[in-house]
Structure 1
Amino acid sequence: MAVISLVVSMAALAAAGISLVYQARQTRFIREEIMRSSHRELLGMTINDPTLRASWGGRCGRTG
């Protein structure tokens, strides 16, 4: 009986460990996607706003 209990406990512990690894991986992917999204939004703002376009430097910031 103790052996069965030990096997079940080990399986539950392994499942919890696998779950934590998977959750950490998903969190990392979500964090990267949020960063990409904010970069995309900032890029769109600088392209569409002439006053922010100057932050690109060079001829991009000049009007006229």
Structure 2
Amino acid sequence: MNNAIYLQALTEDQKGNWEQAHDLIQDLSSPEAAWIHAYLHRKRVISPTPGTGITGQVSHSPR
């Protein structure tokens, strides 16, 4: 297993690049990716981006 993608996603989130972090992780199917994906969404709902109109709601198209 290559953990680099998980670290990269978390690093992007730490730098404030939520969208980039989400894009990296959203289509992976491992339990680790699911955990990080959930973390990103929970963080987004708790801390919406001020002044952008983003309310924390991010929709996904059905797969």
TM-score, normalised relative to structure 1: 0.31
The one of the two structures with greater contact order (alpha-carbon pairs below 8 A, sep at least 6) is 2
Identify, as 1 or 2, the structure richer in helix: 1
TM-score by length of 2: 0.32
Q: Which has the larger radius of gyration?
A: 1
